Amino acid sequence: MRNVLLVAAENSAETYAVQIVRECAAGGDFRFWGIGGDRLAACGFENVVHNRSLAVVGIIEVLAHIWRIRGIMKRVFREARRRRADAALLIDYPDFNLRLARRLSRAGIPVYYYISPTVWAWRYGRVAQLRRWVKHLFIIFPFEVPIYEKEGMPFTYTGHPLLSEVRPSTSREDFRRRHGVADGDVLLALLPGSRESEVRLLLPEIMGAVRRLGGEFRLKVFLQQAQNISAASLAPSGNGVRVLGQQQGHDLLNASDVVITTCGTSNLEAALLGAPFVAVYRVNRLTYLLGRRFLRIGLYSIVNILAGRPLAAELIQKECRAERIYQEARALLTDEARRQEMRREFRRIAGMLRQDERPAAIICRRLRSDLEGSETKNRDA
């Protein structure tokens, strides 16, 4: 039985981790444990630390929790040594995972890393850390291939894991009918984030825009509540907004006319489902000023980066205010040609990310092959 530490510290990372755990379970030769959430636990994963403990974003915000985060890292590392982990699979979350990778590698535990840090956007120096501490890297975007070829980093391009994950369970028409969205109604979907700090900063501005839109359109407004977000955090949404759980998120996006969403994985989910969106983001001002110094590109949304141009509006920091969100959402709602152009480009992006084999299958095959090879060498020695 292969004993593998897995770290899925964020909501999107857990989505991808569930795919891997299920895929590897088919062979009956893996036991995964580490940092995860409720969805992983439902797959038989052992949560040594629940990932809600690491739901922090931003330089200043992380500093405020630094001792607790360091304590979690020490605990996970001690467990890896105590359990004699055969390998570690770390997913995204680079500020934490690259530090953990260094400790694990020095202790002789081979590290596999899934979802490359965004070195193409900022902090290119992380490539050197990957090359030093990571045995094998799994990347999901085609434009990352030449970077790691040039750097001589062992890697595999898997394609994007969302392609197999993003599937509505019901049709657009059925969803709208079931939720009382009549002909002539505008279904507006709100995705304010998967971290409490994101929701706290974004939701009041989003709701300011919604109130203005409500004066011009017959709105039906739905808000997706991410797994680790408390009901109290959603209080600014008021009584006129219907809150849906994360499990209904793809159905909601598929049925929406326009989406207002935080920058992140949700942008790509919206694009894969053909939902025109406005991307918003705001962090602590000092966090933004410190981070901006390291930026290499001028785009924030991964959909715009893949498109090579500002296809969807990005309202970042000072631009992320109710008036601007209202303007951009209204522009989408009143311009059918623009919405159609976005959908055409979304289809092209989906084609760019497609692979012949599911990413989870590629990763499990690599882990199994490498660990079998290590066992053979140990026996021969």
pLDDT band, residue 13 (cuts 50/70/90): very high
Rounded distance, CA 195 to CA 274, Å? 25
Query: Between these two residues, 231 and 55, which has the higher pLDDT value?
Result: 231
Lowest mean pLDDT among 170-174, 236-240, 356-360: 236-240
Of 138, 229, 230, 162, nearest to 15 (Cα)? Answer: 162
Q: What 3-state DSSP class applies to 137?
A: strand
pTM for this entry:
0.84
Write down the mean pLDDT value for the chain.
Answer: 90
Element spanning 340, H or E: helix 336-353
Look up residue 278 and give its two tokens: 């406005």
- What confidence tier does 64 reach under pLDDT thresholds 50, 70, 90? low
Could you tell me the fold of the domain covering 169-353? Rossmann fold (3.40.50)
Neighbours of 169 (CB within 10 A): 11
Task: Check: CB of residue 311 under 8 Å from CB of residue 345.
Answer: yes
Instruction: Determine the average pLDDT of the residues in 117-137.
Output: 92
pLDDT for res 60: 46
Is residue 313's pLDDT more than 80? yes
Give mean pLDDT, residues 18-30: 91
Query: 156 has which bridge partners?
Result: 138
Look at strands 277-281 and 314-316 and give their pairing.
parallel
More confident residue, 185 or 377: 185
Q: What is the pLDDT of residue 373?
A: 76
pLDDT band at 211 (very low <50, low <70, confident <90, very high): very high
Boundaries of every domain in the chain: 2-159+356-380, 169-353
Contact in structure between 158 and 89 (CB atoms under 8 Å): no
94/290 Cα distance (integer angstroms): 17
Residue 165's nearest CA partner among 278, 299, 17, 31 is 17
pLDDT digits (tens, 9 = 90+) for 354-370: 888 999 999 999 999 99
CATH annotation of 2-159+356-380:
3.40.50.2000
Length of the chain: 381
Matching CATH topology for 2-159+356-380 and 169-353? yes
- Mean pLDDT score, 16-29: 92
Q: What is the pLDDT of residue 55?
A: 65
CA–CA gap between residue 94 and residue 14 (Å, rounded): 15
